[in-house]
Structure formats: structure tokens, C-alpha cells
Amino acid sequence: MMGLHTAYEILGGKKKTLADILGITPRNVNFKLNADRGISDLDLLLTAKTLEIRGNKMLEHAAKLRAVLAAAQSEKANG
């Protein structure tokens, strides 16, 4: 399934990472990515939840970086 493969790439392209999320072995991740084994609703749910958590962490960090930049620009303007 392309969706699982895309998630695998977003998560760093490491089979061990996806295996840990799904509670399976990296070998079984291969089977799922190659469509040799089925992908369950739980597989998709766990993967989606992990992507959401990581995405939220990235957004939070981006906001912190923007705040630092805004503070630095404000200091320059007020000189």
C-alpha cells in the first residue's frame, strides 16, 4: 500500500521504526510494504497516530523558532 510506504519514508525510511510502531519485526514490515501481507486497520491507525504526534512536535518546534526570530528582529528594530 502506497500510504504505508509514504509513512515509512516520512518516518525516516527505517524498517525498525515502523516495526516498533506496529509491534512486528522488520521482516514483516517488508512483507507489508511489498504487499505480501495484508495491512490491517490497526496498522493504519497506529501509523497515522505516530505521524500526527511527530507532526505536532514539528509544528510546535517551528513555532518556537519563529518566536526566536521575531524576538531577534524586534531587538534589531528597537536597537
Task: State the pLDDT at residue 1.
Answer: 67
Nearby residues of 29 by Cβ (< 8 Å), 6 or more positions away = 8, 15, 18, 19, 22
Q: Is the pLDDT of residue 18 over 80?
A: yes
Confidence band, pLDDT 50/70/90 cuts, at residue 53: very high
Confidence band, pLDDT 50/70/90 cuts, at residue 63: very high
What interhelical angle do 26-33 and 15-22 show, nearest 10? Answer: 100
- Say what the pTM is: 0.82
